[in-house]
Structures are given as C-alpha cells and as structure tokens.
Structure 1
Amino acid sequence: MTVEAPTAPPRSGLGRGTALTLAVAGALTVANIYFPQPLLDAIASGLGVSGSAAGLVATAAQIGYALGISLVVPLADVARLRRLTTALLLLTTAGLLVAAAAPNLATLTIATVALSTTTVIPQVLMPTAASMAGPAHSGRAVGMIGIGLTLGSTLSRTLSGAVVELSDDWRTAYLVSAALTGALVLVLPRLLPEHGAGDRTVPYRKLIGSLPKLLLAHAELRLSAFLGATVFAAFSAFWATLAFHLAGPAFGKGVAWAGLFGLFSLPAALLSYSAGRLSDQRGPLYVNTLALACVSAAFLLLGTLGGSSMAALVIGSNLLVYGGSCWQIANQVRIFRLDEQIRARLNTLFMLASFAGGAVGSLTGTALYGTYGWSGMILGCGGFLVLAAGGLVRGRRIG
C-alpha cells in the first residue's frame, strides 16, 4: 500500500519583492488624496481666500476619487494593465504639476478633481495583486496592499506638513508628490501583467452598464458591500468628530492633536496585515467576526472612558483602526474569490458602498455630536455596529 505525501499548498505567483513594491506604489498614489488636508490653511493664505473656501480642495479630492473608482477602475478588468497604469500615473503627475502652479483656487480645485480621478492606482492594484497571488494567497496580497494604503493615507498628512514647514510654501508638497508619482512610471507598469483577466472585447459602455447586474447576481458582493458600509460609517463618525472632542473642555487640545492620532494608531494598522493570512486560512467570515468584536470593544471603551481619558482615546483608536482594517481586508478577500474576470468591477462596487457608508457616518456623527455630545455620537456608532452584526449573522448562510 502506497502512502502519498501531502500536497504542498500552491506557491504564490506574487513574490515578496513585487508585493512590497506594489504596496509602496499604492501608498504613494493614495497619498495624493490626503496630503493636501493639512495644507488648507497655507493654501488659503497663499491664494488669498478664506479657510472654508480652501476646504473645497479636500472636497474636490474626495469627489474626484469617487469618480475615478466609478469610471476608471472597471477598466482594469479588460484593459492593457501596463498601458493603463502608465497613462494614469502620467495624468496624475501632470495634474499635480498644474496644481503646484495654480494661480487661483478655481484652477487648484479643477486640477484636484482631475488628479484625484486618475490617482486610483491603489484600487487597480488590489484586484490585480489578488489575481497574481492566486486563490490560496489572495488574502496575503490584499493585506499587503491594504497596509500600503493605510500608511500612505496616514503618513502623507504628517510628511506634507513637514515639507511645507521646511520650505514655507504649500506648492512644494505638490512638486514632491509629482516627482514621486512620476518616478513610479519607471517601475510599476513592468511589474504588472500585460492584460486584465476579463474579455478585452467588451466595450466601455457595456462594462459600466454591467455594474448593477453584478450587484444583483452575487450575494457575496452584497454582503461585503453592506458590511463595508456599516462599519466604515462608524469608523468615519469617530474620526469626523475627534478633533471637536479633543478641542472641548475635557482635553483643550488643538487641531494638530487629531492629526497625531493617525500616528498613534500606526501599530494597529501594521498588525492588521495578519487579516489577509487569516482570511486565507480560516475564511473571511471568521476575520469579520474577530474584527467586529474588536471594533465593538473600541466603542465600548471610547464610550465609557473616552470622554475624559486620553489613554482611553489612544487605545480605543488603535482597536478601531485594527478592527476596521481587518474588516475591510476580509470583505475584499470575499469578493475577490468570485470570478477573476470581474474583480475590478467588484472592487468598484465595494468601494462605492464603503464611501457611501463613510459619508453617512460622517454626517450622522457630526450631527449627533453637535446635539448630544460625545455619548450621542458613540450611541449612533453602536447603531451602525448593530446593523453590521445583523448582516454578519445573515451572512453565515453565504459564507
């Protein structure tokens, strides 16, 4: 009787060096959405406009990013990936240079919408990396890119502020970002497959028109979209009101302290890489359950002690970042296990749902905080988590 040796798990087609480079590329490009936020006061002074008017730049970045996710990311299913990423990087670099030279707020706002629409490389890399890694390692790939996005969005605010502090000119930050983004043209495209996995003959109008049908066809997508929206709503409500809470009588801290919380929570962001490996080994539903427990513990701590304790705020924000990052990774791993030919469109729908949830959460959180204070905001977040728990229970039938 012959005993067969156990079959080794298939090796990933995405090497560590390539995965790390893709994560760095994701970090550098997603930074283009967030680095202007600390510069708004300097932009207002430099262009001679009010602070509220300068805030249009941050809003324009979010609008452009949403447009890019909706209209550009689906192309990754069918386009020549190397050509697509090259074009996006060049267009983003051009937009950053126009922004750096903008003579007025209108030009800067239009340039911001344009460059934010094309700086969607991170959402192209996520499904592409999952395909390159293969089914057995897709979670690790998603986790690696996710870490890059978290670090890029967090550290970009700190670094851009430092650049402006040293140069005494907000335009320098745009020039530095343009140089970094342009340099990626020499590296990133050659690491990617030549083509997306989908049917290259599908016309663009049909590609975009297929999005609603995909949502109706895939229960796993509907589950991930709902889960992503609900927890990101609670996540966004916390960050939208943190600066007001820190400035209140309990702490009396300036606006800069809210930015520091991004750095305080970096350990949790780095630890969330484990969510990809756990999703590969135990499944997304298992990771969703752990993540929801972590996020719930965060809001329980924030609600009981976060009203007056800085330590509780720091610990709670770490729990929230860790749970929220793991939650998103698990949801994306779930949808990337569906048809490889439509992964970019699946990611488009998931990200749009998450963005919508974040917008609702920010509006709800600030409204509740303004009327009922910190405790009211926490209770509102608890309502979002109850919805997420209900979706998770229902999702056990799907897996």
Structure 2
Amino acid sequence: MTVTAPVLPPPPGLSRGTALALAVAGALTVSNIYFPQPLLDAIASGLGISGSAAGLVATAAQVGYALGISLVVPLADTARLRRLTTVLLLLTTAGLLVAAFSPDLVTLTVATVALSTTTVLPQVIMPTAASMAGPGRSGSALGLIGIGLTLGSTLSRTLSGAVVGLSGDWRTAYLVAAALTGGLVLFLPRLLPERAPGSPALPYRALIASMPKLVAAHPELRLSAYLGATVFAAFSAFWATLAFHLAGPPFGLGVAWAGLFGLFSLPAALLSYSAGRLSDQHGPRYVNNLAFACVCAAFVLLGTLGDRSLIALVVGCNLLVYGGSCWQIANQVRVFRLAAGIRARLNTVFMLASFAGGSVGSFAGAALYQAYGWQGMILGCGGFLALAALGMVAGRRMD
C-alpha cells in the first residue's frame, strides 16, 4: 500500500525550512525508541539468548524514554537550547554506537536505557516550536511536527527490518541510526533559539521540584493530562491486543500483519495535521469533541464488525489513529497556551500522564483479551472513554 503525503504548509510563524527540519528531526530521534522492536529475534540469535531475554531491549527503551521525559525535558525551560540539543544528540549517537558493538545482553540493555533517556528531543522540540510559531499559531506547528513523530515511530520499524534483511546483521540498523542521529548535529541546534522565551533562572533541583506546583496551579494542565491518559489507555489497549486478534480465528494472520496496520493507518495520521489549525481557529475543546467522536466511532465499529471483517479493522484503525492524534494535539495546544517559560515542564507532566495511561491500557487490554476475548477488550476501552467523557464535561468551561 502506497501512501502519498500531502504537501503541508509550514506553520505561519516558522520558515518552511525550519518547520520541515524540526519535523524531520523529531521523526529521526523518536525512531530510536521503536526501530529495535522488529529486531528482537535477530538480536536473540546474534547474542545467543532467548527471545524473552531479548525482549528486555524493548522494555529498556520504554524505561529510558520515561526517565528522559522526567529528568531531561524540563531542562528545556532553563538551559541553552542549542547546547542542550547538541549534547543530547551526541550522547544518543554514542549510545547507539555502543549498542551496535555490544558483546552481550547486559551491555545492550544498559546502552538502550542510556540512549533512550537522551533521545527525548521530540519532547523538547514540541514546546520550542510552539513558542517559535507565536500566539494563535502553535497548533499548526504541533500538527506538522506531530506528523513527523507519527512517521518516525511507524516507518522506523519497517525500515529497520529492511536494513537487517539486506545486511543480514541487526547491528547495521544501529549503525544507520547512529549516522542519522549524529547528522542532526550539523544543522538542528542552529535552527533553535538560544533560550526558551521567558526562561527562568532556576537550579536543576528547583526545576524538578516545581512540577507538582505547576499541576496544582494550572487546571488546564490537569485537564489535558487526564484526557491524554484516558484516551491513550484505550488507544494502547487496542494496539497491545491487535496482533493476538489477527493471529486467531477467523483471520489466522501472521504477526507481521500487525505491523502493516501501522502503514494502513498512515492516511489518518497525515490528515491529523488539520487538528493543529482547527485548534488555533476554534480552540482545543472543539478538536477534543471531534477527536472523541472519531475514537468512539472507531470502537463501535471495531466492536460490532472487528471480530470478523478485516476491512472493518482497517477503517476502525484509521478512525482511531486520526482521533487519537487529534486528541493529543488539542490537549498539547491547551497546555502550551500557558506561560512560555514553563512549557517544557508542562509537556513533561502531560507526556508522563499519557505514558502512564498507555501503560495501564496495554496491561488492562491484554488481561481483558486473555480473559474475555475481543469484545471484553472493547468494553474495557469503552470504560476508559467513559472516564474521558466525564473529564470533558468537568472541563467544559476551560477553553
């Protein structure tokens, strides 16, 4: 299936080159979290370990990314952005090279945690781009960069598998990733401002300690974090069980089909660019309503026909991806409308909440599917959406 990306205009407050470069940088850096996932079997064979042991690499990537969001991203509010970007890119490149030459699982796992902790530039780029775009234009910036993140997370799995297929060695994928990440040092830092607007002079300990106070002070942040967690829980439950569903009756399809669904949903991901512009024009609540309707329609379709129709699964997947992407953009636009000098820390809180919701959703979805099958998982997702609806009602006067 071939998907032709539309020609997207840059956000009004950014030059065309800068907007696209930030989107490309986000795609390349976020791919470092996801490209090893299809390589786990090859890693197991190459290191002479079991498949379950190789699975530690995927777990280590998620743990490292959560650490990076918690401990590194807040620095973007106070640090020199160009220096911070350069250091993160160099450390990530070094981590990828160590992983490529790892002699054993322990070295590979430690390297994965380290490189995943420093490859959090997408979460630095998002608030920075919102500031660069200016008031009333941040949604367009987030929409464009969000597409880059979606393409990076989706296509990296396919491309890394192709690289290993051609080279016959899983280490080649890490070397390619190191080259691409290191290449960003040549241009990305120069595209960013020296410091974030309104950058406060805070020591690191005070910076981290300030985040609970931000949660208490800003109801918009609490709303967006809650909404992000609940819908991402349903989103993650679907993806955590899709491979098992496709492998069972009546489909009987291999695990590779679950990866193809990422490609099948690219049209929806690309269309979600409009969410940023709509958020700028009509407000985040308008886009939340649109996105929620799409997500609910997706699960209705998946629940009624998704247990017997592959076409229904594809259509439902596109509705879910479109709704989920628009949902996240709207919530981030709401957060980034707050003071510029705290945007990185606001994004940290929002992303940690979404990450936590996704983890709960993946666990609950797998458990419900194991116990009650596809329909049980769908009903569980309906529960997460009911919680999201309550949050929307409670926060209806914020936008």
Deviations 1:238-261 (A, max 9, x none): 000000000002110111000000
Correspondence 1:27 to 2:27: yes
- Per the TM alignment, residue 200 of structure 1 is displaced from its structure 2 partner at its CA by 4.6
SS at match of 2:13: coil
Distance 2:28 2:133 in 1: 22
Distance 2:62 2:156 in 1: 15
Q: Is the 8 A contact 1:284 1:334 kept in 2?
A: yes
Residue in structure 1 matched with residue 51 of structure 2 by the alignment: 51
Query: How many residue pairs align between the two structures?
Result: 389
Q: Is the 8 A contact 2:226 2:391 kept in 1?
A: yes
- Per the TM alignment, residue 226 of structure 1 is displaced from its structure 2 partner at its CA by 0.3
Q: Which amino acid aligns with 1:370?
A: Q
- Per the TM alignment, residue 398 of structure 1 is displaced from its structure 2 partner at its CA by 1.4
- Per the TM alignment, residue 215 of structure 1 is displaced from its structure 2 partner at its CA by 0.4
Residue in structure 1 matched with residue 186 of structure 2 by the alignment: 186
Residue in structure 1 matched with residue 333 of structure 2 by the alignment: 333
- Per the TM alignment, residue 167 of structure 1 is displaced from its structure 2 partner at its CA by 0.3
- Per the TM alignment, residue 288 of structure 1 is displaced from its structure 2 partner at its CA by 0.2
What's the Cα RMSD here? 0.8
SS at match of 1:210: helix
Q: Is the 8 A contact 2:200 2:341 kept in 1?
A: no
- Per the TM alignment, residue 160 of structure 1 is displaced from its structure 2 partner at its CA by 0.2
Superposition pairs of residues 196-211 of structure 1, within 5 angstroms = 196-211=196-211
Residue in structure 1 matched with residue 359 of structure 2 by the alignment: 359
Residue in structure 1 matched with residue 88 of structure 2 by the alignment: 88
Unaligned runs of 5+ in 1: 1-10
Distance 1:199 1:245 in 2: 48
Distance 1:239 1:89 in 2: 30
- Per the TM alignment, residue 16 of structure 1 is displaced from its structure 2 partner at its CA by 2.0
Correspondence 1:375 to 2:385: no
Residue in structure 2 matched with residue 7 of structure 1 by the alignment: none
Distance 2:165 2:66 in 1: 30
Q: Is the 8 A contact 1:79 1:200 kept in 2?
A: no
Distance 2:367 2:12 in 1: 47
Q: Is the 8 A contact 1:139 1:279 kept in 2?
A: yes
Distance 2:135 2:65 in 1: 28
Distance 1:197 1:113 in 2: 31
Question: TM-score with structure 1 length normalisation?
Answer: 0.97
Q: Is the 8 A contact 1:12 1:136 kept in 2?
A: no
Distance 1:274 1:200 in 2: 33
Q: Which amino acid aligns with 2:248?
A: G
Residue in structure 2 matched with residue 6 of structure 1 by the alignment: none
Residue in structure 2 matched with residue 314 of structure 1 by the alignment: 314
Superposition pairs of residues 12-161 of structure 1, within 5 angstroms = 12-161=12-161
Deviations 1:100-148 (A, max 9, x none): 0000000000000000000000000000000000012100001111110
Distance 2:308 2:198 in 1: 53
> What is the percent sequence identity of the aligned residues?
81
Distance 2:345 2:371 in 1: 39
SS at match of 2:136: helix
Deviations 1:166-218 (A, max 9, x none): 00000000000000000000010000001122445210000000010000100
Question: TM-score with structure 2 length normalisation?
Answer: 0.97
Q: Which amino acid aligns with 1:378?
A: I
Residue in structure 1 matched with residue 272 of structure 2 by the alignment: 272
Q: Which amino acid aligns with 1:328?
A: Q
Distance 2:139 2:129 in 1: 10
Deviations 1:323-369 (A, max 9, x none): 00000000000000001100000000000000000000000000000
Q: Is the 8 A contact 2:228 2:327 kept in 1?
A: yes
Residue in structure 1 matched with residue 5 of structure 2 by the alignment: none
SS at match of 1:20: helix
Q: Which amino acid aligns with 1:40?
A: L
Q: Which amino acid aligns with 1:105?
A: L
Distance 2:261 2:12 in 1: 35
Residue in structure 2 matched with residue 218 of structure 1 by the alignment: 218
Distance 1:12 1:165 in 2: 41
Distance 2:132 2:12 in 1: 8
Unaligned runs of 5+ in 2: 1-10
- Per the TM alignment, residue 397 of structure 1 is displaced from its structure 2 partner at its CA by 1.9
Q: Is the 8 A contact 1:78 1:197 kept in 2?
A: no
